[in-house]
Structure 1
């Protein structure tokens, strides 16, 4: 019989314990050898939750099982919780695999195909799902307590700050402190904004001086907007202000948001931050349904830069007195990336009409 091995860990901490990928694979290989089974392939998902089926290796394994040619007969897992901790996903995928002639075997939970075996398997999966949901709630509760005491809850440290490790009893915690290598750049970005410069001008200024982000990359408008809208630079810790629903950020109920002012050293004052928000809102385009949007640029979406191959965008200059087509890279990243010249809108459109 040909089998595939599936191993998964949901966190680095779990990987450090006896549930590590290496430990799971070692046990699975030994089990296959003891039963005289041939291992066709090994699939591994690291730092992936079993509460979702959206796991790269898992999806690849299921897709392989669905092929017309049968590559393997059984999936070996260390425990059923490695396969899924969502009862609905477990039922759906096991049913799909069964139709393809593929079974799932847990080497540490011996269940058979009898009615009693199916009942036991279902009970194990329900307990696993309960454990997973309960663990998630405990984790959120711990993160809420951590944020409430002014500690950083993990994730990317905002540019302009660095992590400061401190001991809280036996536990190591993280607070934010200014990173003097980038803090001056953050202050300058806000000053440029309140002085009337737009995000594109700020980007072109920073890239023109060959300044880089904390990741060593060139600046773009997304970087600048993220900084200008981030309240962390006023010394305020904000946690749990949004969640993702279907991949899109959604604002949380204000009562669930933890907000602590003067939590860490501020890089800019509150007055500067609020002035920047006012200017950003004033410059923000009106939100219109896509079907109602029309472009004043006849060749929009049809032109590409001859130097770098990027799309050409319509843009205005001198308080909207002059209109041009410009390279997207030039507009967003500056002439250091592409130095293609602006092309007069009326002349280019007239030329296009003559040629049609």
Structure 2
């Protein structure tokens, strides 16, 4: 978030008082360190600015952003872009302390940020530190030590958090993730007393509460058991089972049709026999995603009430493992290479969806990791390109939505003219509006997110953001965002965003049409 403070300064300096130096402020509050809020940081920075005769004309704020990496910290990236492009209208940057740049595991990363500012002729001041950042040997030594201490704080915190989460797993409590079809999450208090069932997207709000898994509705439990019977007793494959479920119009817990991969996940997840397993993969200190060996997993067998008998689960695993054991390494890689030629890329989901192909976990076990299997067939993963098809559909949808807006304005008595070169709408010759369709993205835990890029190049007076449903086939709601109130080029929306953003949200565009409506006023003689 970038806030322009230039309109709220202290005004012209008094007679005999030197003119204030223009400065920017950078504040960050991490998700794992809530002690220093951005407001508290700004209070210290403002006192420092008043004492040193600085005028804070711009503030860059990263709220709820971890300092472990530069990725995702849009405000800091915007600051560096402004500094290095020459757009910065200030000569100093005020920061609360050394750790606000980041708690990088490599202290040189934080030093590089300050160096980039210095090379652009902009000095950095640490307002809460007990040393002057004057380039002296003493300040350089202190900064180096503090950068290393900031990184060590994150490392120690990571160890403590991991130990705490592992202990909760061993006590039989659930740690994150959607429960899955046939299961539900239930909130319990310290004494283990049931409090409430958590719906999708809901989280516990009291630190001492815990979450456990319980069997879901009887019809879902019966269906899970039937899936195992089809697979173990009847010899049906995952694809065949998915087709049966879809023919019966049964949806997954996420409201989607069944796929081979979705059925496969039901057949391999130990939560269906009541085992609490955690730590299959790790992403410690946000450095490298890695798949951990089974002996490193944290587990508590029999933590929850089982949905499936252990004998059925064991039989299913034997069938899945036998499919891979029958193949040599060369055969498995040849099949994987054929899938790569067909699809043009590889993911765990693509592998699990293919018939007559071992599961992604089988490839990971056989070759040490999926990435190594990818490398052996000449594939270097970049990113998931499924979004291209969705974006293609949304581009086709844009003209229809634009025409609906024009018709709605005209029906209300207004006038809307489309600029053929920019698609901007000139409404009543009074203001310009841009229509932006925002794709819905679903996280692994089932939460919905929308990333909205405002069209700053065209600089419309009003942005009509059309937020799409989970399936991206129809609008969910609309945001009418006036340019004067928007201080960021990119907005990241959740399902609920607080009054600062949701006050602009509407279920339909009637409010826009009311804005464009015209009424006749009788002229007095």
TM-score (normalised: structure 2): 0.49
Give the RMSD, CA atoms, in angstroms: 3.7
Residue 183 and residue 243 in structure 1: after superposition, are their counterparts in 2 closer, same or farther (change >3 A)? Answer: same
1:9-60 deviation line (CA, Å, top 9, x unaligned): 224xx44xx43345445655676577442433523242x3212232341344
The counterpart of 1:239, out of the listed 278, 295, 310, is 278
1:6 and 2:27 equivalent? Answer: yes
1:122-142 deviation line (CA, Å, top 9, x unaligned): 222222222221111111121
* In structure 1, C-alpha distance between the alignment counterparts of 2:41 and 2:258, rounded to whole Å: 43
What secondary structure sits across from 1:176 in the alignment?
strand
What secondary structure sits across from 2:214 in the alignment?
strand
* In structure 2, C-alpha distance between the alignment counterparts of 1:38 and 1:76, rounded to whole Å: 8
The counterpart of 1:20, out of the listed 17, 28, 37, is 37
Contact 1:79 1:109 survives alignment (8 Å):
yes
1:226-274 deviation line (CA, Å, top 9, x unaligned): 22221111111112233359755422361x3333221111111122112
1:1-356 maps to which residues of 2 (within 5 A)?
1-11=22-32, 14-15=33-34, 18-24=35-41, 28=45, 35-46=53-64, 48-57=65-74, 58-67=76-85, 69-70=87-88, 73-86=91-104, 87-110=107-130, 111-113=132-134, 114-168=136-190, 171-180=208-217, 182-194=220-232, 195-244=234-283, 248-252=289-293, 254=295, 256-283=296-323, 286-288=331-333, 293-294=337-338, 300=342
How far apart are residue 150 of structure 1 and its match?
A: 1.6
Structure 1: give runs of 5+ residues left out of the alignment. Answer: 303-312, 317-327, 330-336, 338-356
Match of 1:343 in 2: none
Higher mean displacement: 177-186 or 234-243: 177-186
* In structure 2, C-alpha distance between the alignment counterparts of 1:186 and 1:282, rounded to whole Å: 22
* In structure 2, C-alpha distance between the alignment counterparts of 1:250 and 1:166, rounded to whole Å: 31
How far apart are residue 85 of structure 1 and its match?
A: 1.1
How far apart are residue 283 of structure 1 and its match?
A: 4.6
Contact 1:244 1:250 survives alignment (8 Å):
no
* In structure 1, C-alpha distance between the alignment counterparts of 2:126 and 2:294, rounded to whole Å: 42
* In structure 2, C-alpha distance between the alignment counterparts of 1:275 and 1:5, rounded to whole Å: 58
Residue 71 and residue 200 in structure 1: after superposition, are their counterparts in 2 closer, same or farther (change >3 A)? Answer: farther
Residue 106 and residue 168 in structure 1: after superposition, are their counterparts in 2 closer, same or farther (change >3 A)? Answer: same
Higher mean displacement: 176-185 or 143-152: 176-185
Structure 2: give runs of 5+ residues left out of the alignment. Answer: 1-21, 192-206, 345-352, 357-385, 390-470, 472-525
What secondary structure sits across from 1:6 in the alignment?
strand
